[in-house]
Structure 1
Amino acid sequence: MSIAASEKSFLGQPRGLTVLFLTEMWEKFSFFGMRTLLVYYMTTTLLIEQGRASIIYGLYTAVIYLTPIFGGVLADRWLGRRRSVVFGASIMILGHFMMASEALFYPALAVIAIGNGLFLPNLPGQVAGLYKPDDPRRGSAYNIYYMGVNLGAFMAPLVCGAVGEIYGWHWGFALAGVGMAAGLAIYLLGGRYLPADPPRAARGEKVKGGGLDRASLWLFGGVILAVVVFRVAYEQVGNTLALWIGSDVDRSLGDWSIPMTWFQSLNPLLVFLLTPILVTAWDRSARKGRGMSSLARMATGAALVAGAFFGLALVVAVSGQGAVHWLWLAAFFLLLTSGELFILPVGLGLFGRLAPAQMTATMIAAWFLAAFAGNLLAGLVGSTWSAMSPSGYFALMGVVASVAVMLLCGLIRPFRKLEA
């Protein structure tokens, strides 16, 4: 059931989108606040060697995207989306505060992953319910929602990262828990603006409308494979790239050294700045009949990310043993973020748009399955960081992203009508 089109707020969208935007913003503040600190905490406080820390990081960020598969099914079959969000957020708050204890490090990661499984597929699953099927605003809704994701991701390293570096990692983890609590409060207070849960199918009951046809399944499978490959490169940002920033980047700005955790804010800041520009350009092209298909946009995004890594590899190779100035890193993030905006929110919107109404949470969870596999592989690949030169490693990531380009280009022609 959609919310009345007359209820508008941010950027002419329904008020419910503002509620979901702010809830997701604070959830991502908590997630990225903890993620920013995780590798540094493991290597400096828990004294875990780099290779093992990268594997733990990759395993955790992978499981974060595996548990939504089960959370999506639970929501569609039994709990409903709104109850799942509340339960999931509450469990994550507990896990973030558990991170303040070194003895509870591994149990805390498990608790956060469980709560995330209930939360992650069910919040974006409510976006489509805010609109009627023919509402022209649907096309940009997920990009605007993605701005909330990245506004939280932008604030997290600045706040949690700075507090963690200055006062201790445990205080940074505690702030992440406070952020999740703020998101839950906003969701509960704004519940009247959100769509009601669709009727839940009984166990074993077929989805009305026949569920997914074979063509849709092939499309989803192909996109998932491409995004898995893409994320192997993309997820190095919080892992090996973060380690390289701490050791081989000239972070000086006059007499001041920029905190290494702050660079994790560049990507989400650029998402927030570039999204309105890209959405406006895409809407204008669509009105003129020159809009790109979803798969073409995604292939373009993967190509931009490949270019970012190849460019960084060249800069590092030219610098030799010297430190790379942080402005080159900023240029890398500009290109990487531009590519991200062409692939991640577009792919999420594709899954949300093509999924049957009673399978929305499950299908969005399937989108996160790609993130699970990609993060797991990214962590395993990251464990080889110490065995390679930085320039060679970044060039390898460029090759990986290029494989994703080829996979996505191969999907464009066969599925042109289905995904347009």
Structure 2
Amino acid sequence: MFGHPIGLFVLFFTEMWERFSYYGMRALLVLYMTQHLIQAAQTDTIVFGFAKLQSGLEGLFGPLSTQALASQIYGLYTGLVYFTPLFGGILADRILGPRKSVILGSVLMAIGHFLMAAEAFFLLALLFLILGNGCFKANISTQVGSLYPPGDLRRDGAFTIFYMGINLGAFFSPLICGTLGQRYGWHYGFGAAGIGMLLGLLIYLFGQKYLGEDQFVKPAENAIVPAPLTVKEWQALGGLTALAVLNILFWAVYEQQGNTLQLFAEHDTDWHILGWEMPSTWFQSLNPAFIFLLVPLIDRVSRHHASQGRQSSSVGKMAFGSILLGASFLILIFAISGSETNQKISFLWLALCTLIYTLGELYLSPVGLSLVSKVSPPRLVGMLMGMWFLSTFFGNYLSGYIGSFYEQMPKQDFFLLLAVLAAGTGLAIFAFKPLLKKAVGSD
């Protein structure tokens, strides 16, 4: 189909519905906590484990406001979502195989979304979502790479198509889950996310025949000990580790879109158009919408450069993406400085900011996934894909910590901090570009 195996589109729609469920829930999470859950938990509503969690966080960071506490929980949740794929990859490599791991993860996440319907099970629901994502995320991505033989030039394009599936789900989820949650009740939004997860599971189950043979073979008890890693494999491992470390700050800044930027969209942005007010959660549909617009443009530019022998390296693309992310927040600083005190800015400024950091994302995230798939030793691909997501764990947790300062700093200063962190990451990647290129290869 379109020059690619049909299995790619089975994985495309499976991931699309999984991301629908994830981003639908994420669009509501910070608003749900700041506007309902935390106040309810601190008054008369039972939320199992919440008091101990709050006590533990305040023991580490001191007294936390409602916004700061919500930011910390957001960072922990979104971080752990990217921590568990490391173990999900190992589970798939050694015990279950990638397909069974994806099925297990889908079931766990569906349970988690439906548990969100009751305040009492809020933390248990997050636990199910974290564990389910760990089984699902690394193993769905590695199956994309396994559809193509080594050296197949379609592989990068396949990951770009797969990335479009991610963003198709991410586009519709704030429009559906966000609107249901904000206008009709939080639990309607969370329930819609759960239904999306079930649809993804069904597509994956019925599409098994298009995924080819399951490459997983459970090691025998008397299996021969694998040979040590070669020098080239160690170099690839070292290069990926270095990029993963630098990747942390990118995601710490980028993930503010579901945290402090969603609060900024709710309280400091004017969403009226022709006398009608859009739900603020629609802000989170801007990023995937721009991805649909930008991917064909980036692909055309990339093909043009390749035809002239000027194709940029993967490392160079990732550095450029980080710098673009930093530049995007200069737009908000300019918009705030040009408005009167306490005056809301037009949503068009936030849209322009989103356009720029989306372009930065496209130069980093799919390129990073493809790079891990290409240069990882085959026997470690699941674990190293998990390691790549582990860097996103640290970045997402750091995003929650950084976001806890949102109310304590002038907004211009907070956005300047984000700009410096992201641009500094890009400059660091550029500085180490020769060493990193040598480690991970010419790509």
**TM-score normalized with structure 1 length:** 0.95
- Where do 1:130-145 residues align within 5 Å? 130-145=147-162
Q: Deviations over 1:192-240 (max 9, x none)?
A: 1114224344689655683773321221121111110111110110000
User: Which residue of the partner structure matches residue 34 of structure 2?
Assistant: 43
Contact 1:240-1:382 at 8 Å conserved across structures? yes
In the alignment, structure 1 residue 21 sits paired with structure 2 residue 41? no
Cα gap change, 1:328 to 1:355, in 2 (>3 Å): same
Q: How far apart in 2 are the matches of 1:360 and 1:385? A: 38
In the alignment, structure 1 residue 125 sits paired with structure 2 residue 142? yes
User: Which has the larger displacement, 315-324 or 88-97?
Assistant: 315-324
User: Which residue of the partner structure matches residue 370 of structure 1?
Assistant: 391
Q: Which amino acid aligns with 1:265?
A: S
SS of residue paired to 1:132: coil
User: Which residue of the partner structure matches residue 127 of structure 2?
Assistant: 110
User: Which residue of the partner structure matches residue 386 of structure 1?
Assistant: 407
User: Which residue of the partner structure matches residue 374 of structure 2?
Assistant: 353
Q: How far apart in 1 are the matches of 2:127 and 2:322? A: 31
Contact 1:61-1:372 at 8 Å conserved across structures? yes
Aligned equivalent of 1:165, options 182, 185, 189:
182
User: Which residue of the partner structure matches residue 426 of structure 2?
Assistant: 405
Q: Which amino acid aligns with 1:31?
A: Y
User: Which residue of the partner structure matches residue 365 of structure 2?
Assistant: 344
Cα gap change, 1:207 to 1:346, in 2 (>3 Å): farther
User: Which has the larger displacement, 302-311 or 168-177?
Assistant: 302-311
In the alignment, structure 1 residue 197 sits paired with structure 2 residue 215? yes
User: Which has the larger displacement, 267-276 or 229-238?
Assistant: 267-276
Q: How far apart in 2 are the matches of 1:201 and 1:225? A: 32
In the alignment, structure 1 residue 287 sits paired with structure 2 residue 278? no
Aligned equivalent of 2:200, options 177, 180, 183:
183
Q: Deviations over 1:43-62 (max 9, x none)?
A: 11213511101100010000
Q: Which amino acid aligns with 2:75?
A: G
Aligned equivalent of 1:74, options 54, 74, 91:
91
SS of residue paired to 1:51: helix
Contact 2:323-2:427 at 8 Å conserved across structures? no
Q: How far apart in 2 are the matches of 1:406 and 1:91? A: 40
In the alignment, structure 1 residue 298 sits paired with structure 2 residue 315? no
User: Which residue of the partner structure matches residue 242 of structure 1?
Assistant: 262
User: Which residue of the partner structure matches residue 330 of structure 2?
Assistant: 310
SS of residue paired to 1:197: coil
Q: Which amino acid aligns with 2:162?
A: Y
Q: How far apart in 1 are the matches of 2:176 and 2:384? A: 34
**Structure 2 unaligned spans of 5+:** 40-65
User: Which has the larger displacement, 406-415 or 74-83?
Assistant: 406-415
Contact 2:327-2:419 at 8 Å conserved across structures? yes
Q: Which amino acid aligns with 1:317?
A: S
User: Which residue of the partner structure matches residue 3 of structure 1?
Assistant: none
User: Which residue of the partner structure matches residue 280 of structure 2?
Assistant: 260
Q: How far apart in 1 are the matches of 2:17 and 2:429? A: 32
User: Which residue of the partner structure matches residue 333 of structure 1?
Assistant: 354
Cα gap change, 1:83 to 1:311, in 2 (>3 Å): same
Q: How far apart in 2 are the matches of 1:126 and 1:54? A: 33
Contact 1:296-1:412 at 8 Å conserved across structures? yes
Give how far 1:359 is off: 1.8
Give how far 1:416 is off: 2.5
Give how far 1:317 is off: 1.8
Contact 1:199-1:358 at 8 Å conserved across structures? no
Contact 1:68-1:120 at 8 Å conserved across structures? yes
Q: How far apart in 2 are the matches of 1:16 and 1:251? A: 40
User: Which has the larger displacement, 83-92 or 354-363?
Assistant: 354-363
Contact 1:28-1:149 at 8 Å conserved across structures? yes
User: Which residue of the partner structure matches residue 247 of structure 2?
Assistant: 227
User: Which residue of the partner structure matches residue 12 of structure 1?
Assistant: 3
- RMSD, aligned α-carbons: 1.6
Contact 1:21-1:145 at 8 Å conserved across structures? yes
Contact 1:58-1:380 at 8 Å conserved across structures? yes
- Count of matched residue positions in the alignment of Structure 1 and Structure 2: 411
In the alignment, structure 1 residue 210 sits paired with structure 2 residue 229? yes
SS of residue paired to 1:311: helix
User: Which residue of the partner structure matches residue 80 of structure 2?
Assistant: 63
SS of residue paired to 2:364: helix
Q: How far apart in 2 are the matches of 1:394 and 1:52? A: 20
Q: Which amino acid aligns with 1:339?
A: G
Contact 1:143-1:279 at 8 Å conserved across structures? no
Q: Deviations over 1:67-93 (max 9, x none)?
A: 111111010011100000001101111
Q: Which amino acid aligns with 2:335?
A: V
In the alignment, structure 1 residue 101 sits paired with structure 2 residue 101? no
SS of residue paired to 1:131: coil
Q: Which amino acid aligns with 2:273?
A: L
State the identity %: 43
Q: Deviations over 1:248-272 (max 9, x none)?
A: 1111101101110001100011112
Q: Deviations over 1:354-383 (max 9, x none)?
A: 112222211111110111000001101100
Q: How far apart in 1 are the matches of 2:218 and 2:139? A: 14
Q: Which amino acid aligns with 1:109?
A: L
**TM-score normalized with structure 2 length:** 0.90
Q: Deviations over 1:330-353 (max 9, x none)?
A: 111110100100001101111111
Contact 2:302-2:311 at 8 Å conserved across structures? yes
Q: Which amino acid aligns with 2:166?
A: V
Q: Which amino acid aligns with 2:76?
A: L
Contact 1:207-1:358 at 8 Å conserved across structures? no
